[in-house]
Structure 1
Amino acid sequence: MANIPIDRLADELVQAVKEYTDDVAEGVRKTVDKTARKVLQETKALAPKRTGEYAQSFGITKEDGYGTTKRIVWNKKHYRRVHLLEFGHAKVNGGRVPAYPHLRPAYEKYAADLPNELKRVIENGG
């Protein structure tokens, strides 16, 4: 342990807390990115593939703010169609089109473990 003069103790403590916070924030970002990539890959695999264009147009949007890390998996080209395929919809002349769940199962599969992974990152300091 280094000898620290008493007048520099507060500065050293602030620096140590800042390093820990930066390490944890980077670890959280990496963990959220990894989970989002898994959700994206699973969504593409489960999506209906009549032509394959719908499944390939899924992507990730990053929204980072002060103290927040958010990743949104969405369909960039056919975003209006996602809820119709995910939950099914009514036909014009009666009846229903069957649902093809693909986004929600992928999210539930990988996002369920995310709090435990984030807890591990925080406990380990990044």
Structure 2
Amino acid sequence: MSINIESLAAELNRTLAIYARQTEEKVDVVAEKVASDGVELLKANSPKSPGGGKYAASWDYKKVGKKFIIHNKKHYRLTHLLEKGHAKVNGGRVSARVHIAPVENRVINEFKEELRRGLSE
């Protein structure tokens, strides 16, 4: 049996387009799941003031283009101050309360593993 080279090229292009679409869908599903998990981890591990936990409760994610961005909706100004520490008004420093970096590292590793698993199916 012989195959026409034009039909072979067309079939390869069709197959690669299907694979690319499936891969893109898988990346999107995994990214959203990992972003959601990251939000839950940040809500659980963020510093909470004695009067509430409004900072911790304000974590959320949003999709911008093809990216999922985890952010603090209401108290975004505090993220850097809490994560890195800051100077006090009357001298001295407030120590850092690192809570974002560990979640970031965990989310990155989880994304890689989930995607590797999903693409090997």
TM-score between the two structures when normalised by the length of structure 2: 0.83
Over the aligned positions, Cα root-mean-square deviation in angstroms equals 2.1
1:13 offset after TM fit, Å? 1.8
Unmatched tracts of structure 1, length 5 or more: none
Report 1 or 2 for greater relative contact order, CA contacts < 8 Å, sequence distance ≥ 6.
Answer: 1
1:52 offset after TM fit, Å? 1.6
Q: What does residue range 62-73 of structure 1 map to in structure 2 within 5 Å?
A: 62-64=63-65, 69-73=66-70
Q: 2:95 aligns with which of 79, 95, 98?
A: 98
Q: Describe the SS at the equivalent of 2:26.
A: helix
Unmatched tracts of structure 2, length 5 or more: none
1:5 offset after TM fit, Å? 6.1
1:4 offset after TM fit, Å? 9.4
Residue deviations 1:4-60 (CA, integer Å, cap 9, x gap): 963533222211111111001111111111111111110011112222211111111
Aligned equivalents of 1:78, 1:4: Cα separation in 2: 66
Q: Describe the SS at the equivalent of 2:89.
A: coil
Q: For residue 11 of structure 2, what is the amino acid of its counterpart?
A: E
Query: Between the two proteins, what is the percent identity of the paired residues?
Result: 39
Number of aligned residues: 118
TM-score between the two structures when normalised by the length of structure 1: 0.80
Aligned equivalents of 2:35, 2:19: Cα separation in 1: 24
Aligned equivalents of 2:102, 2:17: Cα separation in 1: 38
Aligned to 2:82: 85
Aligned equivalents of 2:116, 2:48: Cα separation in 1: 37
1:85 offset after TM fit, Å? 0.9
